Structure 1
């Protein structure tokens, strides 16, 4: 990471109960496990491996949970603050469920917001679209404010989760302002 962050428990409060429920392990026990592994010195990937090894095999999507537990520990230990990536930059996201299929959701985003040349004073680069077996995407860069990905993921047969994620913010000072911006654009659809 590029800068030291303040130490102390900065874990987003809503994460801990979910981690405890999913893992069947109290947060204090997770902390003891990480301390025994000297996790504050081993880096994110290794912390996630420690978490993954301690999760029950019956847990659905254990790799995803291991990543979330590692992030929660890093926040708790002051290794990163909420919204900060392992690279030291910050990210923010917002989402909305819509009664559309994934391609129609991307088309709706493009029709409503595709002609915007800037977001919050940052010039928008040209958009690129792509599609995988599971998702459809609409991506662009923002001058001085990272990259934006709009993704549409089916949720059942007649709904989609349209998510906007922005990565590469230089600091976390304006995360909530960016979140409000993306939520407002999603609300227009």
Structure 2
């Protein structure tokens, strides 16, 4: 895999959710900004609770919408050192990527399951399928150049205009450096896949 690895502290593991969701936008939707919510959760002693308990507390005690409850919980956990960017609430490391491709859903998913087609955009990787629902989803063990490097979950959604929304999650990674590496890797590879599938056919 020809992807450079950024060193520690480079910010290559991605942005914190507090950088993606502005304090003003959060205040507009929930009535409080990040600092205010962090103070509320500190007063509740949230560091002693699980991710699910924190999100539930925000929903039931503060009437927060589910998506924002999850976002504030993740932001709090990152701010208080309970998890790092790219790390799930269970401690697993993961990254994700998505593309909208001008091709049918069945063909987009076949780009992962058909070895010949996969070789045109993902030549050095091996997949061992675990589940496969044609034109819908798959899960697979992922081996990069022969080394076991996590698990993929791929979902495709057919759009009304004939295009397909592709979502990919790469889970069970080794740590923050692997998250950074595979974030760049999948950005590059999905760009290649999109270009491949959108090539005009023979006239």
1:49 maps onto 2:56 in alignment: yes
State the shift of 1:118 in Å.
4.9
2:80 corresponds to which of 72, 77, 80: 77
Q: Which residue of 1 aligns with 2:47?
A: 40
Q: Using a 3 Å threshold, how does the CA distance of structure 1 residues 125 and 118 change in structure 2: closer, same or farther? A: farther
Q: Which residue of 2 aligns with 1:169?
A: 173
Q: Using a 3 Å threshold, how does the CA distance of structure 1 residues 186 and 69 change in structure 2: closer, same or farther? A: same
Deviations 1:129-167 (A, max 9, x none): 126xxx811221135422101111244443322011111
Q: Using a 3 Å threshold, how does the CA distance of structure 1 residues 159 and 117 change in structure 2: closer, same or farther? A: closer
Q: Which residue of 2 aligns with 1:139?
A: 139
- How many pairs does the alignment contain? 169
Q: Which residue of 1 aligns with 2:118?
A: 113
List runs of 5+ in structure 1 lacking aligned partners. Answer: 1-9, 57-61
Q: How does 1:7-46 map to 2 (within 5 A)?
A: 11-12=16-17, 13-17=19-23, 18-46=25-53
Q: Which residue of 2 aligns with 1:100?
A: 103
Q: CA RMSD in A?
A: 2.6
Q: Distance in 2 between matches of 1:24 and 1:100?
A: 42
Q: Distance in 1 between matches of 2:38 and 2:180?
A: 29
TM-score (norm 2): 0.71
Q: Using a 3 Å threshold, how does the CA distance of structure 1 residues 73 and 157 change in structure 2: closer, same or farther? A: same
TM-score (norm 1): 0.75
